[in-house]
Amino acid sequence: MPLIRNALLVLALGSSAAFAAERSYMSFVGELVGMVEGASMVRDACAVRSPSTAKANSRLHEAWKARHKAVLDAARSKIADANERLKKESAPGEDPIESMLTTARGMLDEHLAGMNPSEVQEYCGAYADLIGLKDREATTSIPKLLKILSDADMNQPPPGPSRTSPN
């Protein structure tokens, strides 16, 4: 279980302890992306590094997706909308969400590369614990983030000239 916690921290896109008002739109989007895609990233990384866990982890992942289909669909829709907004706001990269995912995958890969084979096996064998955390996020944190992002989208200034422009 400690390895799961460490990797979740390393992803840096999972749930946080607080929803601070001063956080940026992009940080909330990143957090949502981590909650929605983190389990897939870990499943995929474990399939490569610990193939003996692949089938069981895949079954757990598919069951998780089925249990939370409605909220995951809503989150993926919000992520797609947020990606368009972030592109318009000149967020880093051509595709801000893909940049986040690439960064998270790299961090996870580095984390796993620093483990010995038995630690990787332990980590990947504890995927059910991660799914338990993701179950809780799907019923608590994801709906909160969806509301925060929806509120932020409703309060977004209309497109037009910059407020700092002289005209």
Q: What single letter denotes the amino acid at residue 45?
A: A
Range of the domain at 150: 2-16+23-154
pLDDT of residue 158: 55
User: Does 163 map to a domain?
Assistant: no
Alpha-carbon dihedral sign for residues 83, 85, 87, 90: negative
User: Does 92 map to a domain?
Assistant: yes
User: Does 160 map to a domain?
Assistant: no
Q: Under DSSP, is residue 1 helix (H, G, I), strand (E, B) or coil?
A: coil
User: Does 115 map to a domain?
Assistant: yes
User: Does 162 map to a domain?
Assistant: no
Q: How far is CA 109 from CA 43, 46, 98, 100, 114, in A?
A: 12, 10, 16, 14, 9
Tokens 């895949």 -> residue? 58
How many whole angstroms separate alpha carbon 81 and alpha carbon 83? 5
User: Does 166 map to a domain?
Assistant: no
**81's tokens:** 């909308």
| H helix count then E strand count, the chain | 8, 0
Band the pLDDT of 157: cuts 50, 70, 90: low
Q: What is the pLDDT of residues 10-61, one digit of tens each?
A: 443 344 433 445 578 989 999 999 999 999 999 999 999 999 999 999 999 9
Q: What is the pLDDT of residues 86-138, one digit of tens each?
A: 888 876 678 899 999 999 999 999 999 999 999 999 999 999 999 999 999 99
Count Cβ atoms below 10 Å from residue 79 Cβ, excluding itself.
Answer: 19
Q: Count the domains in the chain.
A: 1
User: Does 113 map to a domain?
Assistant: yes
**Cβ atoms 79, 100 nearer than 8 A:** no
User: Does 11 map to a domain?
Assistant: yes
- Answer whether 0.85 is exceeded by the pTM: no
- Tell which residue, 15, 60, 58, 5, has the closest CA to residue 36: 15
